[in-house]
Amino acid sequence: MSIDPAINHRPSPALGLKIPRHIGVIMDGNGRWAKARGKARTEGHMEGVKALRRLVELCISHEVPNLTVFSFSSENWSRPKDEINFIFGLLHRFVASDLATLMANNVRIRIIGSRDGLESSLVRLIDDVEAKTRDNTGLNLMVAFNYGGKAEIVVATRHIANEVAAGRLRPEDITEATVAAALYTSGLPDPDLILRTSGEQRVSNFLLWQGAYAELVFVEENWPDFSEATFLAVLEEYTARERRFGGIEAKPR
Ligand code: FPP
C-alpha cells in the first residue's frame, strides 16, 4: 500500500478544528498490537508503517504544515538485534516504496537524530532522501530516528560551546533562540501538540526542549490501529484546550 497520490485537500476549518502548526507523534504499541493477535512483533512494526502512511495522508489533507514522528529512539538499541535490524530495514523499505508518492505530494523529509552507529548504507539513504525532497514546500515530515531529546540538547550544547571557544559567540549573547537554532529542528515551529498512542502517558525523551508548551494527548489504541477517526478526535481535543503559555488569557494556538 502506498500513499494515495491524489490526496484530497479537505480544509479543516469547515470542521471547526484548529490545525496545529506542528504535531509530534510517539507511535507506541506496535509490539502489544502484535502480541494481542498472536503475531510476531515485526508484524506490528509493518502495520505501524501503514498507520504512518495514514497519518501522513491526514496531515496533508488537513494542511498540517509540520509533522515529527518518533520511529527509533536512542534507547531502542537495547532491543534484540533482529528487531533493530528489522526497524532499520523498514526505513529503507518505506523510502523505497513511498518516496515517489511523497515527492508527488510535495513532502519534504528530514531524518532527525544521531548518525552515530548507523550503517553507512542507511546514512547514504538518509542523505539522499533529504537532498531529493529539500526543495519541496508542502508538509515537512521529520522522522526522528536514533533520536533522543537529551542527546539532542548535548549536541546543541557542544556546538554552542565550540562557537564560544572559537570566539564567535559571547556567553552573554546565548539566548533561547541560540539553543533552538542548534537543535535538529532548527527553523521549525515548536510542536503545538504531542500525541502518544498505546495508553502510556510519558514523553520518553521526545522533543524535550521543543515540547515545553505542547498540548499532550494520549490515546488508548495501539499505533497500528491509528485511524482517521482517532486523528479527528485528537484534533477536537486539541481545539478544546485553552493554551495560555504561562499567561492568564488563552492564546489563539
Ligand atoms: C513502538 O512500538 C514503535 C517503535 C519503537 C518503532 C516505530 C516504528 C514504526 C511505527 C514503523 C515506522 C518506521 C519507520 C522506520 C518509517 P513498540 O515496539 O515499543 O511497542 P510495544 O511498546 O507495544 O512493545
28 in contact with ligand 1, CB cutoff 6 A:
yes
pLDDT of 249 reads 74
What's the grid cell of residue 210?
A: 521543543
When pLDDT is cut at 50, 70 and 90, the band that residue 250 belongs to is confident
**Catalytic choice (28, 30, 98, 140):** 28
109-123 pLDDT, tens digit per residue, is 999 999 999 999 999
Q: What value does the mean pLDDT of the chain take?
A: 93
pLDDT confidence band for 195 (50 / 70 / 90): very high
| Distances, alpha carbon 223 to alpha carbons 33, 50, 248, in Å | 8, 10, 35
30 lines ligand 1 (CB under 6 A): yes
To the query of whether residue 76 is one of the catalytic residues in this protein, the response is yes
Q: Which of 8, 30, 66, 76 is catalytic?
A: 76
Predicted pLDDT of residue 14: 58
pTM: 0.92
Question: Burial code of 45-80, b = ≥16 C-beta within 10 A, e = fewer?
Answer: bbbbbebbbbbbbbbbbbebbbbbbbbbbbebeeee
Residue nearest to atom 24 of ligand 1 (CA): 31
Q: Give the confidence band of 242 by pLDDT, cuts at 50, 70, 90.
A: confident
Q: What is the residue-wise DSSP string for the chain?
A: ----TT-----GGGGTPPPPSEEEEE---HHHHHHHTT--HHHHHHHHHHHHHHHHHHHHHTT--EEEEEEEEGGGGGS-HHHHHHHHHHHHHHHHHHHHHHHHTT-EEEEES--TT--HHHHHHHHHHHHHHTT--S-EEEEEEEE-HHHHHHHHHHHHHHHHHTTSS-GGG--HHHHHHTSTTTTSPPPSEEEE-TT----TTSSTTTTTTPEEEE-SS-GGG--HHHHHHHHHHHHHPPB-TTSSS-B--
Q: Report residue 248's pLDDT band, with 50, 70 and 90 as the boundaries.
A: confident
Superfamily of domain 18-239: Decaprenyl diphosphate synthase-like (3.40.1180.10)
- Asked if pLDDT for residue 73 goes beyond 90, the answer is yes
pLDDT > 60? residue 10: no
